[in-house]
């Protein structure tokens, strides 16, 4: 599986669709998602972007749990993130959560590289299903980039494809 990272293009409209529920099912439902995401966040804690996350271990644990709920729900699992989103579209809410941070392309690449590392440790999931999940991550993560090398900030517009 390639899991290529496509670059952010300032001003481009970003198109994406939520991951197929097949990923959630193939990874083992809630427990499998927790295992994947906790592994990912443990890696993030040691990464170049660890400073975006609380350094207090108890606070970091809360972030792991909360963000894992987002991924459980966005992948078709139960609605365990509804209270966090406060009635907003989940993707829109997650984009706005990142507004408080200055996120550049380098940070995005580090984030994607770290989740790619965690995904490469997943066994027994069909490559096509992994690619679908990766496509979501690659495209959706473009929407969190809000700081560019020229010093400007820009919030990309997005179009979320409807599931068929």
CATH number of domain containing 43: 1.10.490.10
Look at residue 56 in the predicted model and tell me its pLDDT.
Answer: 95
Report if residue 143 sits inside a domain.
yes
Look at residue 4 in the predicted model and tell me its pLDDT.
Answer: 95
Report if residue 32 sits inside a domain.
yes
Report if residue 162 sits inside a domain.
no
> What torsion, rounded to 10 degrees, do the Cα atoms 110, 108, 111, 136 define?
-140
Q: What's the token pair of residue 123?
A: 């066994």
Residue range of the domain that includes 121: 17-149
Report if residue 2 sits inside a domain.
no
**In the chain, which ranges are E strands?**
14-16, 158-160
Question: Would you write out the chain's pLDDT as a tens digit for each of its 164 residues?
Answer: 689 999 998 888 888 999 999 999 999 999 999 999 999 999 999 999 999 999 999 999 999 999 999 999 999 999 998 878 777 777 777 877 777 788 899 999 999 999 999 999 999 999 999 999 999 999 999 988 988 777 776 655 555 554 43
How many distinct structural domains can be found in the chain? Answer: 1
Alpha carbons 97 and 161: distance in angstroms, whole number: 21
Report if residue 3 sits inside a domain.
no
Report if residue 161 sits inside a domain.
no
Report if residue 154 sits inside a domain.
no
Look at residue 150 in the predicted model and tell me its pLDDT.
Answer: 74
Alpha carbons 2 and 23: distance in angstroms, whole number: 17
What is the pTM for the complete model shown?
Answer: 0.88
Q: What's the token pair of residue 68?
A: 């894992």
With 0-12 / 13-18 / 19 or more C-beta atoms within 10 angstroms meaning exposed / middle / buried, residue 162 is exposed
Report if residue 9 sits inside a domain.
no
Look at residue 83 in the predicted model and tell me its pLDDT.
Answer: 77
């Amino acid at each position: 599986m390639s899991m290529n990272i496509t670059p952010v293009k300032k001003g481009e409209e970003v198109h994406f669709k939520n991951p197929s529920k097949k990923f959630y099912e193939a990874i083992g439902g809630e427990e499998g998602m927790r295992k994947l995401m906790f592994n990912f966040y443990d890696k993030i804690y040691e990464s170049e972007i660890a400073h975006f996350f609380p350094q207090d271990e108890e606070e970091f644990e809360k972030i792991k749990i909360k963000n894992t709920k987002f991924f459980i729900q966005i992948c078709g699992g139960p609605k365990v993130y509804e209270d966090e989103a406060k009635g907003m579209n989940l993707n829109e809410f997650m984009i706005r959560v990142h507004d408080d941070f200055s996120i550049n392309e380098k940070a995005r690449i580090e984030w994607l590289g770290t989740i790619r590392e965690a995904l490469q440790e997943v066994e027994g999931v069909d490559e096509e299903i992994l690619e679908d999940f990766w496509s979501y991550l690659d495209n959706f993560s473009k929407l969190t980039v809000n700081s560019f090398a020229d010093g400007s900030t820009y919030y990309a517009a997005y179009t979320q494809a409807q599931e068929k």
